[in-house]
A and B are shown apart, each in its own frame.
Chain A
Amino acid sequence: MSYIIAENLFKEYGNGDSIVAAISNINFKIASGEFVGVMGESGAGKSTLLSIMGAMNSPTSGGYIVGDIDVYALSQEQQADFRREFLGFVFQSYHLVSYLTVLENVLLPLTTVKAGRKKKQAMAKEALASMGLDGKFHRLPNQISGGEKERVAIARAIVNDPPVLLADEPTGNLDTKTTHEVMELFQRINKEGMTIIMVTHSAECAEYTQRILRICDGRLLEEDKSVKKVSAQGFKKPPETKAA
């Protein structure tokens, strides 16, 4: 059964004669627990699509449904609640808050959640531990490596256990070895039941996904089945990694 449904999504920018269509007539369905890659050239409309899926950018027309929720029928404040409860974000440039420690960054999505301080701390520490960041709770973002920042960003995205994780070029700033480590983390999270939609340029990263939505000039091409070579556990084994 489809968990995410995009129907006839259009997004245009500008007005009058200067209207530019960022995406046109996008239709897809994603089942709960899928790991889907979104690929395409620069300017193809990947990020626009991801921002629409992230409840941060209203489509000009079309529908976007997650679970039973028509996301863009919600008010702006309800969309914020939706993002908090249903979505986790991993950005290309981490977007960690520089003056907060690693632990505090991961606690951020829980700030407005009604739960006890101890419970929130436990959730954040568990998320960080699952990313192998024990012992780095109290470091600032500028005191850890790029790979660690990425893992902090992932921990922040999954700390409140959202059903959907959206990742925008999550390995764009990482070396090959760290890229594969991060992709393995994504695989593990996905295996635990989280739906992941990842925008990527990297064919290597795309190999970790179960299927690819390929976008060209704002339009969705035929789904590429070539990467659906899953292992016995449901995922393709990662390729050999190169030393950093």
Chain B
Amino acid sequence: MTLKEIAFKNLMRRKGKAAFVLSGLIIGVATVVTIISFVDAMTNDINHKLEKYGANILIVPRTDSLTLTYGGLSLGGVSFEMQEIRQSELAGIHSIKNARNIAAVGPMVLGGVKINDNRVLLAGVDFKAAGILKPWWKVRGGFPDEQGILLGAEAARIIGLGVGQTITVNNRPLKISGVLEPTGSQDDQLVFARLETVQTLLNKEGKVSMVEVAALCTACPIGDMVKQISKVLPAAKVMAIQQVVKGRMETLTQFRKFSYGISAVVILIGGLVVLVTLMGSVRERTEEIGIFRAIGFRKGHVMRIVFLEAGILSGLAGILGYLLGIGGAHVGLRLFSGSSTPTIPIDIEMFFGAILMAIVVGLVASAYPAFMAARLDPNDALRSL
């Protein structure tokens, strides 16, 4: 006979009460697991969606003057006359510590040209990177080859040309391979061609005017990445698009705070259920505790029995609560995220975290009942019967 066996047998005897305590804790743990899993899944979902917003780091030449607005963002140092970034230096971006967080690097060279008497901004881009950096682009036609050009929606309207027609830029004929659907951004005003084509047209071989970098992910330390890129490109000015990052972080932080608040309340209620039920249980067991004390159990032994009971129930509640919580998160995601294939992986850390949390709550809540049980005077306990 051990204290553990006494605790276990008492639980088996009082199945109803044990089930009540178990239910209280399971609901608490399941709610917390559901909320946290749901928030994590939503965070991943939001991150995934935000990644589609495109670039979040911009690299421009360092300068003391001249600004150009691009995409609604104020950029420093984009000028046709000024010093540009050497394209060969961009390889260094892939050697930074957080290089694996970089989704795409899109160099861009810019220059003013005349097309059909209209002065327009010609942008040379890497169309492969543009697929990641500008996922909202929809093209009527196709992306251009070395002899082609892509028109922004507004540029196409003003120039008055369409897909298949040829225009001459700096005495070089270029076939219009496609026209962008309106994006609502500055891209509508621009004409695009391959990076190498534009570099040749503008006599800027091996140079780029700016670089867009997509690096949005859950654990991307954008600030750190900006510093790392600045180190490898000392002549450039590297900026995080703070609006996107900060906005995302604030939203997630508030979402998390709210969910932790709800979790704390639920856990508190679970703890109170344990406390009240165990207090009742201790009162009912006055005789038994009196016997234990009379035959030589120390106060510590009596406390250990109560703690063991709470521990057994809490551990079980942790396991069941985790499983129920994961199930709840799946259902929640299906209902609220609109995704037909929600993904909530089995998280070992969260699994053990749930068990640990349940045990801590169970033990803390049972501390007072255990103390009361240990304080029972054996003589009073047996005489009162």
Q: Which residues of A are interface residues toward B (Cβ below 8 A)? A: 47, 51, 54, 56-57, 76-77, 80-85, 87, 89, 91, 93, 95, 97-100, 104, 107-112, 120, 156
Contact = CB atoms under 8 A, between A and B. Distances in A.
B299 interface: yes
A47 B383 contact: yes
Contacts of A98: 13
B292 interface: yes
B296 A100 contact: no
A168 to B, nearest CB: 9
Nearest to B2: A111
A166 to B, nearest CB: 10
Contact of A100 (B3, B9, B287, B295): B9
A31 B288 CA distance: 32
A112 B379 contact: no
Q: How large is the interface on B (under 10, 10 to 19, 20 to 34, 35 or more residues)?
A: 20 to 34
B360 to A, nearest CB: 27
A104 B298 contact: no
A77 to B, nearest CB: 5
Contacts of A93: 385
Given A107-B1, A120-B1, A100 B299 contact: no
Interface string B347-385: 000000000000000000000000000000111001101
A85 B291 contact: no
A92 to B, nearest CB: 10
A77 B183 CA distance: 81
A103 to B, nearest CB: 8
Nearest to B13: A99
- Residue of A85, A87, A91, A97 most packed against chain B (CB within 10 A): A97
A160 to B, nearest CB: 8
Nearest to B10: A99
Interface string B267-302: 000000000000000000001101111111111110
A57 B378 CA distance: 9
Contacts of B2: 111
Contacts of A76: 299
Chain B contact residues: helix, strand, loop or mixed: helix
Contacts of B3: 111-112
Q: 3 closest A-B pairs (Cβ-Cβ)?
A: A84-B296, A107-B1, A99-B13
A125 to B, nearest CB: 13
Contacts of A107: 1
A111 B297 contact: yes
Contacts of B287: 95
Contacts of B295: 83-84, 89, 108-109, 156
A120 B5 CA distance: 14
Given A100-B9, A108-B1, A111-B6, 14 more contacts: A47-B383, A56-B293, A83-B295, A84-B296, A85-B296, A87-B296, A89-B295, A95-B287, A95-B294, A95-B385, A104-B5, A104-B9, A109-B296, A111-B297
B146 to A, nearest CB: 86
B298 A80 contact: yes
A61 to B, nearest CB: 17
Contacts of A112: 3, 296-298, 301
A97 B291 contact: yes
Nearest to B305: A111
Nearest to B290: A95
Given A108-B1, A112-B301, A95 B296 contact: no
B244 interface: no
A110 B287 CA distance: 19
B262 interface: no
Interface string B1-38: 11101100110110000000000000000000000000
A57 B379 contact: yes
A91 B382 contact: yes
B337 to A, nearest CB: 48
B1 A77 contact: no
A163 B6 CA distance: 27
Contacts of A57: 379
Contacts of A81: 296, 298
Contacts of A104: 1, 5, 9
A83 B1 contact: no
Contacts of B296: 80-85, 87, 109, 112
Contacts of B292: 108
A148 B5 CA distance: 24
A89 B297 CA distance: 13
A111 B297 CA distance: 8
Contacts of A54: 294, 379
A156 B294 CA distance: 12
Contacts of B383: 47, 51
